[in-house]
Amino acid sequence: MENFDYVIVGAGSAGSVLANRLSEDGRSTVCVLEAGPSDWHPFIHIPAGFMYTLVNPRVNWLYTSEPSEWTGGRRIAAPRGKTLGGSSSINGHIYNRGQRLDFDGWAQRGNHGWGYADVLPYFRCTERRMAAEADPTFRGSDGNLPITDLEWRDPLCEAFIEGAVQMGIPRNRDYNGAQQAGVSYVQRIIENGRRVSAARGYLHPAMKRRNLTVRTHAHATNLIFDGKRAVGVRYLKGGRNGTPVEVRANKEVILSGGAVNTPQLLQISGVGPAPLLKSLGVEVKHELAGVGENLRDHYAPRFVARVKDAETINEKSHGLRLVGEVLKYALTRKGILSLNPTLIYVFWKSDPAVDNYDLQFTFTPASYKEGVQSTLDDFPGMTIASWQQRPDSIGYVRAKSADPFTAPIIQPNYLAAESDRRVLLAGMKIARKLISSPPLQKYYEREEFPGIQAQSDDDLMTAAKQRGTTTFHLMGTCRMAPDSDPTAVVDDQLRVRGLEGLRVVDASIMPTMPSANLNASVLMLAEKAADMIRGRPALEAVTLKD
Ligand SMILES: Cc1cc2nc3c(=O)[nH]c(=O)nc-3n(C[C@H](O)[C@H](O)[C@H](O)COP(=O)(O)OP(=O)(O)OC[C@H]3O[C@@H](n4cnc5c(N)ncnc54)[C@H](O)[C@@H]3O)c2cc1C
């Protein structure tokens, strides 16, 4: 048995940040357990490798969600990264923080220190914003992760933006600045044509420190308790048939396994809703009804149009053209292999009367077979996706068995809330206008999916049921909330309620969905948690004008 000051389960977005910050003093001993392998695979680092890692069991847990009414009874893929960097090693590279109201909402729910003014300094400290016009009130310049602008330009993207502008949606130079609303090319965590995951930005630079130990192929199977105190972690070295090992934490055990695996590990270790644990035959060490509840995700239907008189990524990714693109990437780090899956973002309202921008749209001059993002269509195509930014639908993650290698039940209950369906429908109507706007007409041949025969609300909801997918933003399953909230799992210091020596630091703690893809917020919250764990004062809140 070995002893460390801190044992971190999971080397994903949050775990990588923590590993770096907690070992920074050169004295504290830190052990990180990662179930997956090292992140050596080239397709992790080549941006277009996204399509490969999305379906590769070596680096992806390849979960699926349970069928539900509004997915038309389909199971939806729920990929999660399983390698150093976790989901930041297989994600779509987008950097998007969300809106001021998201974090003010967290604070208003009684989570002290989590308002926008409090979290903004932590967003800034994660990033090295590579843009000439970055506003220092909002953007950081010397953090671990480079945030770059997409340089790609093509006639379809330019026409799409022009069409949005003609619809009254303004261009926005920085959707991570003062205002999110508008249309713009995406900001990405890519530098010199290569992905910069949390592992590349935070973990690898720290791995030369002697006080940091990183174990790959180390699947945590149980937490070890002494009464109400977490004192260590049991793991299997080498996976299911591997060697059992125990590591002890002198100070804290920190769970950073992500929104699916963290609640599962808690539940099979005896922390969670008592009826569930009993049904699994797990001894209840500490009852906490909220563990695994409050799951939320973004659900996105897509419109696909066939393109004429312009080239799309689809044609460039087949046959000899692809060979040329591979050579181009090898020599210049440019071309389609340097692209992330979506190129343009729009943030807008479902209704002018709505106070806060509740819709997100993505555009890309490419399309996918059956809408699944791992295979491009054979015809020239372009795609727009849209989703409700702050879904009300709530689901759960529940262990199916006490066996740590059995995938848990993931039920996001997509679109169960009427409000989500209403906003989704409004979004689909705007999306169709955006992809067939006057400036795009010269390239627009016809709508391939769902097809212009789909006009009524029922038709559109049928299309959403047929091909809607996750946008990969599972969160909320170990919710941060005040004690008065029966679903509270952690307090605002991210300590598991009622236990000692145990924190959760990952996407599970988010009380509500930010109006964003999640990686930026996870990095932010891990930086903030590192200060809490080290007993350092929080970074000074930013004074913002109303
Ligand atoms: C395909 C995909 C695309 C996405 N695209 C974007 C995007 O473009 N922009 C964006 O902002 N967000 C995106 N996201 C979301 C974002 O990347 C995640 O929300 C974020 O990375 C989650 O961070 P985390 O630390 O909570 O968990 P993760 O990064 O998933 O890390 C969890 C880690 O814990 C390990 N682990 C789990 N269980 C155990 C165990 N029992 N023992 C040991 N190790 C364990 C896992 O293997 C993993 O490495 C995407 C996600 C996915 C999956």
- Write out pLDDT tens, residues 360-395: 999 999 999 877 777 899 999 999 999 999 999 999
Q: Where are the alpha helices (DSSP H) in 90-192?
A: 100-108, 116-126, 155-166
Averaged confidence pLDDT in the chain: 96
Q: Please indicate whether residue 49, judged by its CB atom, sits closer than 6 Å to ligand 1.
A: no
- The tens digit of pLDDT for each residue in 287-334 reads 999 999 999 999 999 999 999 999 999 999 988 999 999 999 999 999
pLDDT the model gives residue 507:
98
3-state secondary structure of 54: coil
Q: Please indicate whether residue 527, judged by its CB atom, sits closer than 6 Å to ligand 1.
A: no
Predicted confidence (pLDDT) at residue 458 exceeds the cutoff of 90:
yes
Which residue minimizes the CA distance to atom 49 of ligand 1? 86
- The tens digit of pLDDT for each residue in 193-203 reads 999 999 999 99
pLDDT the model gives residue 196:
98
Q: If we measure between CA atoms, which residue out of 425, 418, 369 comes closest to residue 391?
A: 418
Whether 472 contacts 76, CB under 8 Å: no
To test the ligand 1 pocket, which listed residue (175, 340, 519, 527) has its Cβ within 8 A of the most ligand atoms? 519
* Residue written as token pair 């009622």: 498
How far away, in angstroms, is 46 Cα from ligand 1 center?
A: 18
Active site positions, annotated: 473
Q: Please indicate whether residue 87, judged by its CB atom, sits closer than 6 Å to ligand 1.
A: yes
To test the ligand 1 pocket, which listed residue (59, 91, 364, 471) has its Cβ within 8 A of the most ligand atoms? 91
Whether 364 contacts 343, CB under 8 Å: yes
Predicted confidence (pLDDT) at residue 210 exceeds the cutoff of 80:
yes
Strands (E), 456-508: 469-470, 502-504
Q: Is the peptide bond before 404 cis (omega within 30 degrees of 0)?
A: no
Q: Rounded to the nearest 10 degrees, how much is the dihedral formed by the CA atoms of 129, 88, 482, 255?
A: -130
- Token readout for 37 is 């392998």
To test the ligand 1 pocket, which listed residue (17, 88, 527) has its Cβ within 8 A of the most ligand atoms? 88
Q: If we measure between CA atoms, which residue out of 213, 233, 214, 207 comes closest to residue 222?
A: 233
Q: Please indicate whether residue 476, judged by its CB atom, sits closer than 6 Å to ligand 1.
A: no
Q: If we measure between CA atoms, which residue out of 180, 227, 241 comes closest to residue 389?
A: 180
**Integer Cα distance of 389 and 528 in angstroms:** 24
- The tens digit of pLDDT for each residue in 337-351 reads 999 999 999 999 999
* Residue written as token pair 């695996």: 261
Whether 448 contacts 381, CB under 8 Å: yes
pLDDT band at 59 (very low <50, low <70, confident <90, very high): very high
**Integer Cα distance of 423 and 541 in angstroms:** 33
Length of the chain in residues, anyone? 546
Predicted confidence (pLDDT) at residue 402 exceeds the cutoff of 80:
yes
Determine the atom of ligand 1 nearest the C-alpha atom of 519.
Answer: 11
